[in-house]
Amino acid sequence: MTHPAQPASQVPTVKLLIGGEFVESRSTEWRDVVNPATQQVLARVPFATPDEVDAAVAAAQQAFKTWRKTAIGQRARIFLKLQQLIREHMGELAAILTAEQGKTLPDAEGDVFRGLEVVEHAAGIGNLQLGELANNVAGGVDTYTLLQPLGVCAGITPFNFPAMIPLWMFPMAIATGNTFVLKPSEQDPMVTMRLVELALEAGVPPGVLNVVHGGEQVVNALCDHRDIKAISFVGSTRVGTHVYNRATLAGKRVQCMMGAKNHAIVMPDANKEQTLNALAGAAFGAAGQRCMAVSVAVLVGEARSWIPALVDKARTLKVSAGTEQGTDVGPLVSCAARDRVVGLIERGVADGARLELDGRNPQVAGYEQGNFVGPTIFSGVKPGMSVYDQEVFGPVLCLAEASSLDEAIDFINANPNGNGTAIFTQSGAAARKFQEDIDVGQVGINVPIPVPVPLFSFTGSRASKLGDLGPYGKQVVLFYTQTKTVTARWFDDSTVSQGVNTTISLK
């Protein structure tokens, strides 16, 4: 909910970070940050003004002049300190995250930890930002490359991973010598801001990291700003496509990780108990609000008889507030998100899918106002049904059927999205065929959510990604740097002149 002005109240306000200072916004437009399990207003976040966005970019532009010259070891040591601080504050960070986003405390710690892994990787930037050299490519001529920072970069992050995804972005951007302007989700910015505070404590200089809050107007301002050289985005396909088109037209590098419809193939030879556990966890964990959630299971052959066992497994999951002991499925992030998911369940029924397990209107004692939807399972799902064609982003698992592995692979490849996929099997031949023939970026073999560790890069494809280089890992070093190729020849007084060379050849 947004408001025209900030009323006098005891609710804390979320600050902007500009030039190393946490400042109160002068905006007249504010939004409540709401606990999705209780509807308690936790804070109020401003939609930054155009002048505030300009000030943040100007601070980053000024800081870049000195930061780009900072020794690579000095930059690395900041992230060694930051990873230590994140570990020391893990419980606090998880509690903030659960309060504003809703996921369970163990899952919130996982959110922070998966971001921490990128911070650890950034601390090794001295081994990552290396050029290449070829000696004596012609007589007395050497060629080598330098990976130099771009300048001011920006990041736009979603609500579902308010710790991990900001940590995908600003540590690697800053470690490579850039400065950064971050726009976190306006729905749950508090844990992001706590991480930013820790980054300053770790030694990030004033202006190197800046934060602005807001919605579409702030996003457009970042896309259009002439001093921003690159933008990283994670979020919906609609917004990501808009960001990519607008920012690339403004001459920027852009990477957009967008929507998904992740399928898992279940072969009849799979370990049944392990597979059912994996499907339930990947489909319903985080209330299905993951871009890598398994939202479709394709049951091959005799695996089609596993539906009752899968439904029984889903029934065992506890729906409650993320702070409650033993909770498996927390609330959706907002009332609007809950209403959208419930609406898609209703459309699934109307479209003819069979509702095997109905998670609408669960009774959650003590949290009657929470945005809860319980685990929901449809069978007989086909393309053309809304519950299949759209990314539900809720605890809804669709079941489809195939008579063979080839048919299942063709079914997945016909879907426009290519974010993540998995196969459950005990056959090495089936697994290898799957990994070779499937047209999806992240592939799991008996792993339901194959998000790579930062030694590798996130590699969504097709409609799930715009831009050729992914977040974190080796690819993001290339994204955040400009390769400069130097060809050098040195002469001394004894060098014999070769005369005028009017050809393109090196002699």
Q: What local confidence, expressed as pLDDT, does residue 497 receive? A: 75
Confidence at 5, pLDDT banded by 50, 70, 90:
very low
Q: What local confidence, expressed as pLDDT, does residue 230 receive? A: 98
**Residue 214: inside a domain:** yes
Q: Verify that 176 and 89 share a domain, yes or no.
A: yes
Sequence-ordered list of residues with C-beta below 8 angstroms from that of 81, at least 6 positions apart, any chain: 201, 202, 203
Q: What would the pLDDT profile of 126-174 be if each residue is shown by its tens digit? A: 999 999 999 999 989 999 999 999 999 999 999 999 999 999 999 999 9
Q: Between β-strands 141-149 and 133-138, what pairing exists: parallel, antiparallel or unpaired?
A: antiparallel
Tally of domains within the chain: 2
- The per-residue pLDDT of the chain, averaged, comes to 96
Q: Return the higher-pLDDT residue of 506 and 107.
A: 107
Look at residues 424, 422, 453 and name the one whose alpha carbon lies nearest to residue 438: 422
**Residue 434: inside a domain:** yes
Could you list the active site residues? 291
Q: What would the pLDDT profile of 449-476 be if each residue is shown by its tens digit? A: 999 999 999 999 999 999 999 999 999 9
Calculate the alpha carbon distances from 312 to 280, 362, 422 in Å: 10, 16, 22
CATH number at residue 407: 3.40.309.10
Q: Verify that 155 and 293 share a domain, yes or no.
A: no
Q: Verify that 138 and 239 share a domain, yes or no.
A: yes
Confidence at 9, pLDDT banded by 50, 70, 90:
low
**Residue 494: inside a domain:** no
- Do residues 157 and 166 lie in contact, with contact meaning Cβ atoms separated by under 8 Å? yes
Q: Verify that 230 and 340 share a domain, yes or no.
A: no
Q: What would the pLDDT profile of 232-287 be if each residue is shown by its tens digit? A: 999 999 999 999 999 999 999 999 999 999 999 999 999 999 999 999 999 999 99
| Residue % of the chain over a pLDDT of 70 | 98
Q: Verify that 212 and 102 share a domain, yes or no.
A: yes
**Residue 215: inside a domain:** yes
Q: Verify that 155 and 274 share a domain, yes or no.
A: no
Indicate the residue type of 173: A
- The range of the structural domain enclosing residue 313 comes to 263-445
Sequence-ordered list of residues with C-beta below 8 angstroms from that of 240, at least 6 positions apart, any chain: 233, 234, 256, 257, 258, 259, 466
Q: Verify that 357 and 211 share a domain, yes or no.
A: no
Q: Verify that 334 and 421 share a domain, yes or no.
A: yes
**Residue 9: inside a domain:** no
Q: What local confidence, expressed as pLDDT, does residue 326 receive? A: 98
Q: SS in 3 state form for 314-355?
A: HHCCCECCCCCCCCCECCCCCHHHHHHHHHHHHHHHHCCCEE
**Residue 503: inside a domain:** no
* Helical H segments across 332-441, by residue range: 335-350, 386-389, 405-413, 428-437
Confidence at 296, pLDDT banded by 50, 70, 90:
very high
Q: What would the pLDDT profile of 403-441 be if each residue is shown by its tens digit? A: 999 999 999 999 999 999 999 999 999 999 999 999 999
Q: Verify that 283 and 421 share a domain, yes or no.
A: yes
Confidence at 350, pLDDT banded by 50, 70, 90:
very high
Q: Verify that 239 and 271 share a domain, yes or no.
A: no
Q: What would the pLDDT profile of 70-106 be if each residue is shown by its tens digit? A: 999 999 999 999 999 999 999 999 999 999 999 999 9
CATH number at residue 145: 3.40.605.10
On the question of pLDDT at 1 being above 60, the answer is no
Q: What local confidence, expressed as pLDDT, does residue 4 receive? A: 46
Confidence at 6, pLDDT banded by 50, 70, 90:
very low
**Residue 458: inside a domain:** no
Q: Verify that 36 and 52 share a domain, yes or no.
A: yes
Give the C-alpha separation, 184 to 191, whole Å.
Answer: 10
Q: Verify that 139 and 169 share a domain, yes or no.
A: yes
**Residue 146: inside a domain:** yes
